């Protein structure tokens, strides 16, 4: 149905179309976002180099995060110095999953540092100028890691290409830092 003004839709039809689009958007966009991240089941494999603990788990399935799996991940990524467990931002885990897919590996990440308590971070910052005083590790938004079957330089390059947050390269210490803060590189 058209109005008297030519080919423009009738105002009632226009309102209907706008309303339908507004209603459908929440249902369409998550599907698009999830397709960009990857498969219907997301997994992560971690090996904590300080504690020897390992976890290999599906942490996302059927459109939602699995709380028990996230709990296991949080334990392995805890501050091993203080034994404090803190919820890791799921965007970090998704970043690791995306990085692993892009690198074409199923190897477990070798974890150097996940969550850091403010006490631990302050102690590390006092010893080294390379530790940020307001580190995203204290918010569960950063991980320092490597992969046993990939060159560190390659991991760094591919992590930067994702443009999902900060990426730092520490070849002397043997790890790459990734976080879900602002996109920046060092």
User: What CATH number has the domain bearing residue 109?
Assistant: 3.30.1380.10
| pLDDT for the residue 33 | 44
Does 27 reside within a domain?
A: no
45: β partners? 56
Does 149 reside within a domain?
A: yes
Q: In the chain, how many domains are there? A: 1
Does 139 reside within a domain?
A: yes
Does 25 reside within a domain?
A: no
Smallest CA-to-CA distance from 148 within 113, 178, 114, 106 is with 106
What's the residue count for the chain?
186
Low-confidence ranges of the chain (pLDDT < 70): 1-39, 129
Does 145 reside within a domain?
A: yes
Does 10 reside within a domain?
A: no
Sign of CA dihedral 73, 74, 75, 76: positive
Contact 162, 120 (CB under 8 A): no
Q: Which domain holds residue 50?
A: 39-185
Smallest CA-to-CA distance from 180 within 88, 105, 104 is with 88
| pLDDT for the residue 3 | 46
Does 175 reside within a domain?
A: yes
| pLDDT for the residue 127 | 83
| pLDDT for the residue 128 | 76
Does 56 reside within a domain?
A: yes
| pLDDT for the residue 8 | 54
Q: Is 109 helix (H, G, I), strand (E, B) or coil?
A: strand
């Amino acid at each position: 149905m058209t109005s008297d003004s030519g080919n423009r839709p009738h105002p009632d039809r226009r309102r209907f179309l706008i309303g339908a689009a507004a209603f459908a958007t929440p249902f369409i966009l998550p599907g698009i976002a999830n397709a960009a991240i990857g498969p219907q089941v997301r997994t992560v494999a971690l090996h904590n180099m300080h504690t020897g603990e390992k976890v290999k788990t599906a942490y996302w399935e059927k459109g939602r995060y699995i709380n028990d799996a996230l709990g296991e991940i949080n334990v392995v990524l805890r501050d091993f110095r203080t034994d404090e467990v803190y919820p890791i931002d799921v965007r970090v885990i998704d970043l690791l999953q995306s990085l692993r897919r892009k690198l074409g590996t199923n190897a477990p990440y070798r974890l150097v540092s996940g969550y850091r308590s403010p006490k631990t971070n302050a102690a590390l910052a006092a010893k080294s100028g390379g530790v940020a005083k307001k580190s995203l590790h204290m918010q569960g938004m950063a991980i320092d890691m490597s992969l046993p079957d990939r060159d560190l330089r390659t991991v760094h390059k591919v992590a930067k290409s994702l443009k999902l947050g900060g990426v730092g390269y520490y070849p002397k210490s043997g790890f790459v830092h990734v976080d879900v803060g602002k996109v920046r590189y060092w």
